[in-house]
Structure 1
Amino acid sequence: MSDNQTKEPKIKGGSFVIETPELERVMTPEDFTDEHRMIAETVRDFVDGEIMPRDEEIEKLDYELTVDLLRKSGELGLLGADVPEAFGGVGLDKVSSTIINETLARGSSFALSFGAHVGIGTLPIVFFGTPEQKRKYLPDLASGALIAAYCLTEPTSGSDALSAKTTAKLSEDGEFYILNGSKLYITNAGFADIFIVYAKIDGEHFTAFIVEKGMEGFTLGPEEKKMGIKGSSTRPLFFEDVKVPKENLLGEIGKGHRIAFNILNIGRYKLAAGAVGAAKEAIELSSKYANTRKQFDTPISQFPLMRKKLAEMNIAAFVMESMVYRTAGLLDEALQDIDYEQPDSGVQVAAAIADYAIECSINKVFASEGLDFVADEGVQIHGGYGYIQEYKIERIYRDSRINRIFEGTNEINRLLIPGTLVKKAMKGEIALLEKAQALQVELLQMVPGQSFEETLAREAHFLDMSKKIFLLVGGLAVQKLGTKLEKEQELLSNLADIMTDIYALESALLRTRKHLTRTTEEKAAGMIEMTQVFAYEAFQRIEGLARETLAAVETGDMLRMQLSVLKKLTRTAPLDTVALKRSIAARVVSRERYTV
């Protein structure tokens, strides 16, 4: 397109560790359009009117009810948000589909059934299907006439997905692929019609297939008895000489990993969006309970330790929300010019999504652990009542635990975050090594200033120093360990956590600064205070991770020298976070909900 020539270059995935984007290029919830807000209202009305009144029935695993509700959401256009209009969908932007995922989170198990269908179930065909496959399946997937499931995990392959044992062999007449094997923990299995299944052709070439319910030799095992998300279907699948028409091969032979990993990337950021919604609900439940529950003739919301919990829960949700919508904006920009009617659209999609694999993993790790923290504190605020099923916080607590396992465990994602960055640097996609080398010269002359008169100047300083710390520690680890670094999982995890806190801090800071261009400091006080607290505490964590990593790669005088450099970078005055959290908590208690 001719207007592409005037567009700014896309922000490179992972570049946040060495660059800071301009404010106008960062998507925030304050940038929502009237259409975005209308979509959120539509979903809220659907949840309140259709899902919440049937909540107990859904939790008892009523297939018919879940399918009926999915079809009703299809009538509203919610199932077709990510499906192009040309194939029967609505073709909304990624911010809109993120809003849908977040707002549906109050629907608990139904939200999972919905998410598995519209995300990992439907997107493989949207992104990688042939025009014929898209025309055949997408209109019915967008309406809910067909329900989808995604089938990757096997009894012996979880995190190591490419070690799958399910096989596919071309029939003698060349018309079918014969599938044999099994899949485990498949969401929506009990009522799905379409299954995205991964198998190795001739036991070697990892490939995706579209398998339909009812194909001979395709059977289901019993429902798993789960800790949480009890209203969602989770069953194993078995394939015994299942004949799949050759035209149901999805993507290219031997390139199934392109589909699997990129769909998981999208799934990770969508999971984070759901975590934001669940965290907000937990804050609302907990703040309302704290205002009504009295001990010693006083509402427990008036006790400082209870208020501290509510403040920290709110800060976690604020940062999660800032990261998720920033990432949605990046994905929108990356995918906006792709024509899904073109045969090579899958290749373009794979490249676009893969570029933000780091950000997707960071969102998944931070939000899943953030929600676990919020849910846990929510139970604590409820006291003994939080352990009783009558109170929804108990279910949020149980349901949240799976998020650290879904879409690649957090341990695997922590290895992917720095590992992917190093690969991008080695390919010359990010000037990481050059920046690390330049830092060595800069550190010799650097004396960080400590005068922070402007609003959020201290937090911007923390962000700048954090990026330098990452370059210092990461560069040293690569220099000292070389290719052996990939086996040092503890160090990779530390680097991942530093990168995650940098992305989180930067997302919150950019959001708040952007908001300040449109309003007064008084009206933005909540955002400012949350950004200040998070920045200070993240900076302390980053310093600790850096010290631990340096001690693992250096000894003696060299270690002392590196620690002295780190001390120079982390020099700062204490911040009164107690007062800031009290101020944040006062707003939450007053409004009885998540608040910025």
Structure 2
Amino acid sequence: MAAVLEQARSAEVPVGGAFLFNDVGSVRITTPELFTEEQRLYLKTALQFSTEQVLPQAEKIEAKDNALLRDLLRRAGELGLLMIDIPEAYGGLGLDKTTSLLIAEAMSLQGSWSVSFGAHTGIGTLPIVWFGNDAQKQKYLPRLATGELVAAYALTEQGSGSDALGAKTKAVLSPDGKEWILNGSKLYITNAAFADVFVVFAKVDGDKFTGFIVERGTPGFSVGPEEHKMGIRGSSTCPLYFEDARIPRENLLGEVGKGHKIAFNILNYGRLKLGAGVLGGMKLQLRNALLFAQERKQFQTAIVSFPLTREKLARMTTLIHAVESMTYRTSGLVDAVLAGADKTAADYSARLIAAIEEYAIESSIMKVYGSEALGYVADDAVQIHGGAGYIEEYPVERAYRDARINRIFEGTNEINRMLIAGMLLKRTMKGTLPLFEVAQAVDEDVAAGRLPKARVQDELAAEEQAAENLKRLAIYTLKVAAETFGAELEQRQEVLATVADIVMDAYALDSMVTRTRQAAVDGKLDAVRVAMTRQYATEANVQSYARARRALCATVKGDALKEHLAKVARLELFTPYDPVELRETILQAVEKASGYPLSAV
């Protein structure tokens, strides 16, 4: 594929989505093994904070102790954990995005706290960092950096969630031109009960979608009662009401009619951070499930000895490895694009936003894959706990409920699946990605019996070949759908979602193969990493080919369908493996580490 891909590469760093066209391992990726000492220190500090100050307070947090949450934010601010993304000029640290994601990972050990922390440091603060003018930054950021002020983000309304631009809240300029007058309401606003600063979206004159900074205590602005939720019960979630709320004219955020730029760019970064924001919880649930399985006995035997329990623990570990490999690969791409940029330059925020937007495909992958992987891990953890998994005394009961919201946050997983496939096509039309050229080459190669061969002949040669085949499978299936449906393809959600799932498996397997090879010592691959990668590859092959057949069956009929099915069948790769050997290789490492075996600290 490499010869076709020159147009898909930037001068120094692959463009967003290029992983689907570039050879496995052709570009060095960022992995936890490459974290700097400074990054590891921030991770260690944040993990210590979560372990010593948050987890012991889990029951109080669950009981909606908003004063405690606010105090925890202040304490986190004292350690510098709230200021990672805030520029130094405004009281922050202005660190790289990988460090920011490491903090998000560490904060995710307790669901309600993770949501409160993320709403403050991410969607609440970043709109001001990226789009605020100097006066707004000077006024708010130094106090947001320390936790003196708490931030919230108000986008969702009763009739507009995924369709953010369908908002009904209105803003008009007062007759004297000194104030904006807001009318409307917002729904499901995190941190609402105790936030001081709200980023609110409304339509100026009823049609220009615009952002505003609204302070608590503003005349005409009120916060409704707490919602009582299935999960993340301890986080504050309230509606907001605006009844002729009068906002100073200077609290306009960005430009009139440009609110979509704020909302969508914040969501892109939020999706990437959510990938990291599930990792801490996944690792904690693995450790807790392992410890429970070691202590719990049935038939005079610890249940950790039972093969089906061990299979679950091995699957949990493999999913963590997949999410971790993709997450830090993606943050590393953003950091690489920004490497050497002057953070004090006037255009730095614009460059940062552009870098994050560049990897919007990867960010949506992290959002969907990470949230669903967390769900699988929490579900397996409950199953290992058995009846105890349903009892509030055990943290896994709360973790199971808390995990569910992640598939709705930052744009539903359904929306993000549409975005993954849709952005691949959009960038193809712009000439950034060579999807149709590569699809044609795949068609010709398959017809001629030319299948990809591994570039590196080692223990992961079959897995490398499997990753390349998955890429071709996604490219070919999307090309057939695009040629069949044309502009109507965006309405064929069942096809786009299926292609997105194949793309996600390809990104995961590519990342795992590349990471494992990069971590080799004196040319020798680590057996545990190989086992996790192989286990993932065997499952990804089965599910991705089933998805491709489903997508093709929903796209074409008759003889054309038979022809397409025959072609993709030639890409299907099965390499015999010993599932017991893979499981035990992984589990022995998990047992030795008393949890996830590839700790970065």
TM range (shorter): over 0.9
1:45: Cα distance to partner? Answer: 2.0
Task: Give 1:445's aligned amino acid.
Answer: A
1:90: Cα distance to partner? Answer: 1.1
Extract unaligned runs of 5+ from structure 1: 1-6
Task: Give 1:456's aligned amino acid.
Answer: L
Query: Which residue of structure 2 lines up, in the alignment, with residue 499 of structure 1?
Result: 503
Query: 1:274-322: CA deviations, max 9, x gaps?
Result: 2111000000000000001111111000010100000001101110111
Distance 2:130 2:66 in 1: 28
Q: After superposing the two structures, state which structure 1 stretch, 152-161 or 337-346, moved more.
A: 337-346
Query: Which residue of structure 2 lines up, in the alignment, with residue 470 of structure 1?
Result: 474
Task: Give 2:232's aligned amino acid.
Answer: I
Query: Which residue of structure 2 lines up, in the alignment, with residue 69 of structure 1?
Result: 72
1:442: Cα distance to partner? Answer: 2.6
Would the aligned equivalents of 2:112 and 2:233 in 1 still touch at CA under 8 Å? yes
1:339: Cα distance to partner? Answer: 5.1
Query: Which residue of structure 2 lines up, in the alignment, with residue 588 of structure 1?
Result: 590
SS at match of 1:219: strand
1:48 partnered with 2:51: yes
Would the aligned equivalents of 2:16 and 2:360 in 1 still touch at CA under 8 Å? yes
Would the aligned equivalents of 2:452 and 2:468 in 1 still touch at CA under 8 Å? no
Distance 2:528 2:579 in 1: 13
The counterpart of 2:430, out of the listed 427, 432, 448, is 427
Is the alpha carbon distance of 1:509 and 1:573 closer, same or farther for their aligned partners in structure 2, counting shifts above 3 Å? closer
Task: Give 1:489's aligned amino acid.
Answer: Q
Q: Which portions of structure 1, spanning 4 or more consecutive aligned residues, are displaced by more than 6 angstroms?
A: 449-452
1:485 partnered with 2:492: no
Is the alpha carbon distance of 1:340 and 1:135 closer, same or farther for their aligned partners in structure 2, counting shifts above 3 Å? farther
1:532 partnered with 2:534: yes
1:22: Cα distance to partner? Answer: 5.1
Distance 1:44 1:357 in 2: 28
Distance 1:74 1:560 in 2: 61
Is the alpha carbon distance of 1:534 and 1:21 closer, same or farther for their aligned partners in structure 2, counting shifts above 3 Å? closer
Task: Give 2:443's aligned amino acid.
Answer: Q
Q: 1:313-462, aligned counterparts within 5 Å?
A: 313-336=316-339, 342-448=345-451, 454-462=458-466
Is the alpha carbon distance of 1:9 and 1:301 closer, same or farther for their aligned partners in structure 2, counting shifts above 3 Å? same
SS at match of 1:465: helix
Is the alpha carbon distance of 1:334 and 1:246 closer, same or farther for their aligned partners in structure 2, counting shifts above 3 Å? farther
Distance 2:490 2:452 in 1: 36
1:495: Cα distance to partner? Answer: 0.8
Q: After superposing the two structures, state which structure 1 stretch, 280-289 or 528-537, moved more.
A: 528-537
Task: Give 2:469's aligned amino acid.
Answer: M
1:147: Cα distance to partner? Answer: 0.4
1:514 partnered with 2:490: no
1:336: Cα distance to partner? Answer: 4.4
Q: 1:35-184, aligned counterparts within 5 Å?
A: 35-184=38-187
Would the aligned equivalents of 1:304 and 1:582 in 2 still touch at CA under 8 Å? no
Task: Give 2:267's aligned amino acid.
Answer: L
The counterpart of 2:556, out of the listed 525, 540, 554, is 554
Distance 1:201 1:9 in 2: 41
Distance 2:167 2:23 in 1: 40
Query: Which residue of structure 2 lines up, in the alignment, with residue 576 of structure 1?
Result: 578
Is the alpha carbon distance of 1:361 and 1:518 closer, same or farther for their aligned partners in structure 2, counting shifts above 3 Å? farther
The counterpart of 1:266, out of the listed 251, 256, 269, is 269
Q: After superposing the two structures, state which structure 1 stretch, 579-588 or 266-275, moved more.
A: 579-588
Query: Which residue of structure 2 lines up, in the alignment, with residue 3 of structure 1?
Result: none
Q: After superposing the two structures, state which structure 1 stretch, 566-575 or 351-360, moved more.
A: 566-575
Would the aligned equivalents of 2:527 and 2:585 in 1 still touch at CA under 8 Å? no
1:83: Cα distance to partner? Answer: 0.5
Is the alpha carbon distance of 1:42 and 1:479 closer, same or farther for their aligned partners in structure 2, counting shifts above 3 Å? same
TM-score, reference length from structure 2: 0.95
Extract unaligned runs of 5+ from structure 2: 1-9
Distance 1:471 1:48 in 2: 44
1:220 partnered with 2:223: yes
Distance 1:99 1:316 in 2: 18
1:148: Cα distance to partner? Answer: 0.2
Distance 2:321 2:563 in 1: 38
1:81: Cα distance to partner? Answer: 0.6
1:57: Cα distance to partner? Answer: 1.6
1:346: Cα distance to partner? Answer: 4.7
1:444: Cα distance to partner? Answer: 2.8
Q: After superposing the two structures, state which structure 1 stretch, 385-394 or 346-355, moved more.
A: 346-355
Is the alpha carbon distance of 1:117 and 1:449 closer, same or farther for their aligned partners in structure 2, counting shifts above 3 Å? closer
Task: Give 2:76's aligned amino acid.
Answer: S
SS at match of 1:244: strand
Distance 1:507 1:48 in 2: 29
Distance 1:402 1:519 in 2: 42
Would the aligned equivalents of 1:331 and 1:353 in 2 still touch at CA under 8 Å? yes
Q: After superposing the two structures, state which structure 1 stretch, 418-427 or 44-53, moved more.
A: 44-53
1:450: Cα distance to partner? Answer: 8.0
SS at match of 1:236: strand
1:340: Cα distance to partner? Answer: 5.8
Query: Which residue of structure 1 lines up, in the alignment, with residue 6 of structure 2?
Result: none
Task: Give 1:33's aligned amino acid.
Answer: T
Query: 1:328-385: CA deviations, max 9, x gaps?
Result: 1112223445556555545434332221111111001001000000000100000111
